[in-house]
Amino acid sequence: MYKLEIGLSASVFRMKYHPHADDPAIRHILDQHVVMLSRNIISYYMSRCSSSEEKDALLAYIDNVINGSKPNGCSIENDIRKNAKQSIDDVIILLKAKNIKTLVSSVNEFEESEVQFKKYLTPAAIESESEAYKTSYLYKYTIPLTNYYIQTNSESLPIKRWLKHMFEGERHVEIVDPLIINKRGMLALWNHYLIDVFPNCMSEIDIYTNLSKSERTRQWVIDEFRDNKYHKWNLRVFNCPFNRHERWISTDNMTISIGAGLDFLGNMNTVNECIINISKNRTLTPELSEQIFPESVDN
């Protein structure tokens, strides 16, 4: 699951490391991503600590980051500036140097900077789900994502890049769509998901469909997936007599629900209207599934 690289002002970073930070909603969001750090940035954070308790908590957190004693969601980079004064400037300069577009800062701290940064988010904007937050990178890459609307004729390439990032690091995926075996669904599966969306590390793909809703036969499915072009993946197809409308893709870490069906990517360069929801929980596959491909020894 993809983690977005972000920069934080001192007051926002405090919400991540301090044991008594009083905003669990923001911490839940920040913990899903990678905070960019450097020695100058850490010095800036230290200079903004208001008590010895805060400094001790920060030092303990940074020690864990450096020693890798726990998942930390931080990346320590080389400083861009040497002998810099302790300020938020280093956070912004590092983000700009690495072409990272997400800065979360309180208004006061951002205004102290001498470096221009066009877009930033405040904790208040995130909590209220303001328009600025809903149009930001942070919103798209934070789970849960609810009712994310994609307009008809939107360009498909940015959407496929976004979905590919979300699948980063995943090795097993389950596709549940009663209509995926139809002509349009198969075109979407091959031209978009297998070629462009699923990352190279993806090795196991299970497809759950309903042949009674398809113009394809069981033998067609067997013959199709025997084609050498599918041999890169350990691919299985199951027939399920389910009548639910929902279509989704599940991994061990999340479920992406696609309201219009997976073939909303059916066109080559544009997409159909669609609403996408992403949850952290893996959705269970349909019951009473019969394996079609590969053929079982009983068949």
CATH number of the domain enclosing 205: 3.30.870.30
pLDDT at site 26? 85
Predicted local confidence at residue 71, as pLDDT: 62
Model pLDDT, residue 299: 53
Q: Give per-residue pLDDT as tens, 50-86.
A: 899 999 999 999 998 888 766 678 999 999 988 778 8
Owning domain of residue 97: 5-140
Q: In terms of domains, do 235 and 284 share one?
A: yes
pLDDT in tens, 178-206: 889 988 899 999 999 999 999 887 889 99
**pLDDT tens column, 118-151:** 789 999 999 899 999 999 989 999 999 999 999 9
**Both 9 and 28 in a single domain?**
yes
Backbone phi and psi for residue 167, each to the nearest 5 degrees, phi listed first: -90, 0
Is 161 among the domain residues? yes
What are the residues whose beta carbons fall under 8 Å from the beta carbon of 49, sequence distance 6 or more?
55, 58
Sign of the four-CA dihedral 229, 232, 237, 242: negative
Tokens, residue 172: 């097993």
Tokens coding 141: 């890459």
Domain endpoint, select from 140, 164, 198: 140
> In this structure, are 149 and 289 located in the same domain?
yes
CA dihedral 167, 173, 177, 181 (to 10 degrees): 110
Q: Which helix (H) or strand (E) holds 15?
A: helix 10-17
Q: Which residues of 85-115 are buried (b: 16+ CB within 10 A; e: fewer)?
A: ebbbbbbbbbbbeeebbbbbbbeebbeebee
- State pTM to two decimals: 0.85
**For 150, phi and psi rounded to 5 degrees?**
-115, 125
